[in-house]
Amino acid sequence: MSTILERLDGLDAKFEEISTLITDPAVIADQRRYVRLTKEYHDLEKILKTADRYRNALSNIEEAKAMLADETDEEMRAMAREQLEESQAEIPKLEEEIKLLMIPPDPDDAKNCVVEIRGGTGGDEAALFAGDLFRT
């Protein structure tokens, strides 16, 4: 859990650096670099938004535990238990989402491709299958 937060802290600094760089007129003049930096900026933005939700869930867990320890009102304790359960259930999902977002993208992902769908041998059924495949 702490290793994820440590890696995310490094990304915060990188995000700030890139956000400063993409406003620099020299970088804007170099279109290749500008396009690369804006793509990286948007990728980091997705990761950091998820990281904020992750940190918020961790904070909610701590608050709920503190409330359960200190609170005497049963309604407040019930709310704290509910918040604790929701946040604890959300943590593994967010960790998995962060891990997936932190995988470096394949450079070929942004490229286009052409797929040809044909009916092949099989007569009408093959043509119907090709049509169904095209629609889905």
Mean pLDDT of 39-45: 90
Q: 39-78: string of b/e by CB count within 10 Å (b at 16+)?
A: ebeebbeebbebbeebeebbebbeebeebeeeeeeeeebe
| CATH number of the domain enclosing 39 | 1.20.58
Tell me: pLDDT of 83 over 80. Answer: yes
Q: Which domain holds residue 6?
A: 2-108
Whole-model pTM: value is 0.68
Identify whether 72 is part of a domain. Answer: yes
Mean pLDDT of 87-114: 86
Identify whether 136 is part of a domain. Answer: no
